[in-house]
Amino acid sequence: MDFRAGQTLLFDKPRQWTSFDLVRKVRNLTREKKTGHAGTLDPLATGLLIICTGAHTKRIESIQGQPKTYEAVLKLGAVTASYDAEMPEEALMDASGITAEQVGAALGAFRGEISQVPPVFSAIKVNGKRAYESARKGEALELKPRPVTIYSLELMPLDLAPGEYALEIVCSKGTYIRSLAHDIGQALGVGAYLRDLRRTHIGDHHVQDAWTLAGFEEMIKNS
């Protein structure tokens, strides 16, 4: 592969890796300094991360603007400060009375164009600093809501633990699935957070066509 001329590479990001961890690894393997990703995934999320090298870095903005599809697991009956499983559970409530039918009905309010407040544990800049930097120091933050579009939001028929529900979400650039999980929990009156997240599509790109890191390393070694 000619990484300087440009490659658009699909990866299945491992859990606990940041998006930049993977970019740095690919940069080191390909020895191409001009390398970037097209859409951040949180460290606890897995799935499709697109990395462009060389001349293909010009495509990053257009790739980022394409709809994204996620498979998420929502856990009812608690919230966390990060809106996901990174931080400990708080405000525990009994969610045993909430049915799948009630969850499905609540989803209707979140389809279409909605106003969403990003999590305080996010990379959005506030007063020149990343929000998560201030949040980790215990500093009070007030993030402004912004419009995002949820094109599709459906329950998935997966057999999960009591109080957990799987969702398939197709959404616009800038959507925080952690905020969506939190807001659904508030609408149901029992709280919720994002227990698991996997990105499966960005536009027509599918995670089934992605490299594993081990597979990519092997290809580089043998090329």
pLDDT tens-digit series, residues 84-128: 999 999 999 999 999 999 999 999 999 999 999 988 876 677 666
**Residue 191 in tokens:** 């709280």
- Confidence (pLDDT) at 135: 63
Q: How far apart are CA 219 and CA 70, in angstroms?
A: 28
- Unique residue bearing structure tokens 């970037």: 36
Looking at residue 78, its pLDDT comes to: 98
> CB under 8 Å to 108, separation ≥6 — which residues?
none
pLDDT surpasses 70 at 32:
yes
Question: What local confidence, expressed as pLDDT, does residue 223 receive?
Answer: 84
Any catalytic annotation for residue 84? no
Check residue 127 and give its pLDDT: 63
> What pLDDT is stored for residue 79 in this prediction?
97
- Angle CA(43)–CA(80)–CA(68) in degrees, nearest 5? 45
Strands 46-53 and 192-202: parallel
- Contact 188/78 with Cβ under 8 angstroms? no
Decide if 172 contacts 148 (C-beta within 8 A). Answer: yes
Q: Which pLDDT tens digit goes with each residue over 122-179? A: 667 766 667 666 566 666 677 789 999 999 999 999 999 999 999 999 999 999 999 9
Tell me the per-residue pLDDT of 50-69, one tens digit each, with 9 for 90 and over: 999 999 999 999 999 999 99
* Res 117: pLDDT: 92
In the chain, DSSP finds a helix count (H) and a strand count (E) of: 6, 11
DSSP state of 175: -
What letter represents residue 188's amino acid? L
Active site residue: 12, 42, 183, 196, which one?
Answer: 42
59's tokens: 């495509």
Q: What is the mean pLDDT of the chain?
A: 93
Pairing of strands 112-116, 146-156: antiparallel
